[in-house]
Amino acid sequence: MGTLSLPEKICANRKRAVEELIKGRDAAAQLQILLGKSVGDRGPVSAEGLVVEISRSFSDSISALMSSCGQDCEVCKVPATTQVGSPSCGDGRSVDSGESSKMPAAKEKRGCYKRRKSTSESYVKVSTTTEDGHAWRKYGQKEIQNAQFPRCYFRCTHKHDQGCLATKQVQRIKEAPHMYQTTYFGHHTCRPYPLNNHPDDLQNPSSDSDPVDKNLLCFGSNSITTDEKEHQHQYPSCRPSSVKKEYCGEETVQCNNLSGDLPAVEPIVWPELMPLESPSVYSSASTSSHGFDMDLLLESGDFGGGFHFDEASFF
């Protein structure tokens, strides 16, 4: 250490990151294929092993990238374009007063908002459930081109009473209809529910807890540090008591209390997320390697319930 100049060190780290990402990608592709097979048809490679490999590769690459740039590294900053929580997104209403000048009377018109840029701060979670411990309110649904299932749009229930701008989009995955891809935008600034209000729960978010954190990879939002993520998910309620109707299902993964006795994998299913047509024919994995992109699939059911995903292996 110390023998390399800074540019050399950055280059080396970058190379390492690329290698790790490639491995991760390949492992993810294999896992994707595996998940498309029946349980008894897995061949020599176990899904469990692949997940571990994926996790390790991604965390290695992340750490490599993190270590290769200082805090001022431009690459690691949030894209300057859109920042969730800014007046231009989250809630489209509060949009862009400059542009509203061409609007008659702001509030009269519907759809007066600015569309979120794809580069805005977001992260994706793929799970058999859409439960995440927060209370959401559905505000829209849309048929998406080339998607078998409609996409549902949710915003934080506390948008109005607490001004929480968090939103999410839920879409069933065409290649795996029992899985949901949930894209989160913005941070929860609300205090969801005083359920069991353990002060520890509120003040010590690191108490491992967050079902989301354990399983998601953050993309696009390079600005979300671990601390921020912990803050943003500091209410790790795994219990449906905190949830409204939309959380009638069960948590299948990543609860802090899921030590062993996992519930049967039975995803929450909104009727509107049901297939528009029978998903009897899955697309071949080769056509969809981009569909999952970097999303990490973790389904407890595939791990026989005994597999505990260790956060430590992640970061």
Partner DNA sequence: GAAATTTGACCAAG
Partner DNA sequence: CTTGGTCAAATTTC
The site for DNA (CB under 7 A) is made up of: 89-93, 99, 102-103, 107, 109-118, 137-147, 151, 153, 155, 157, 167, 169, 185, 244-246, 270-272
Return the number of the residue (68 or 171) whose C-beta is nearest DNA. Answer: 171
Q: What are phi and psi of 154, to 5 degrees?
A: -130, 150
88/232 with CB nearer DNA = 88
CB of 93 to DNA, least distance (A): 3
Q: Min. distance of Cβ 185 from DNA in angstroms?
A: 7
Tokens standing for residue 198 = 């353990």
Comparing C-alpha atoms, which of 94, 80, 166 is closest to residue 123? 166
Closer to DNA by Cβ: residue 116 or 214: 116
Q: Which is nearer to DNA, 240 or 305 (CB)?
A: 240
Contact 122, 169 (CB under 8 A): no
Q: Under a CB-based contact definition with an 8 Å cutoff, are residues 273 and 152 in contact? A: yes
Cβ proximity to DNA, 186 vs 205, nearer residue: 186
Nearest distance in Å: CB 99, DNA: 6
Q: Considering the complex, what minimum distance in angstroms separates the CB of residue 180 from DNA?
A: 15
Closer to DNA at the Cβ: 55 or 82?
Answer: 82
- Residue 314 makes CB contacts below 8 A (sequence gap 6+) with 55, 58, 59, 214
Closest approach of Cβ 282 to DNA, in Å?
A: 20
- Supply the minimum distance, in Å, between the C-beta of residue 156 and DNA: 11
**Which C-beta is closer to DNA: that of 151 or that of 233?**
151
SS (H, E, C) the chain: CCCCCHHHHHHHHHHHHHHHHHHHHHHHHHHHHHHCCCHHHCCCCCHHHHHHHHHHHHHHHHHHHHHHCCCCCHHHCCCCCCCECECCCCCHHHCCCCHHHHCCCHHHCCCCCCCCCCCCCEEEEEECCCCCCCCEEEEEEECCCCCCCCEEEEEECCHHHHCCCCEEEEEEECCEEEEEEEEEECCCCCCCCCCCCCHHHHHCCCCCCCCCCCCCEEECCCCCCHHHHHHHCCCCCCCHHHCCHHHCCCCCCCCCCCCCCCCCCCCCCCHHHCCCCCCCCCCCHHHCCCCCCCCCECCHHHHCCCCCCCHHHCC
Nearest distance from residue 181's CB to DNA, in Å? 12
Helix axes 47-68, 6-35, angle to 10 degrees: 160
Instruction: Compare residues 14 and 137 and give the one whose CB is closer to DNA.
Output: 137
Minimum CB separation of residue 155 from DNA in Å reads: 6
Q: Closest approach of Cβ 264 to DNA, in Å? A: 22
CB nearer DNA, residue 287 or residue 313: 287
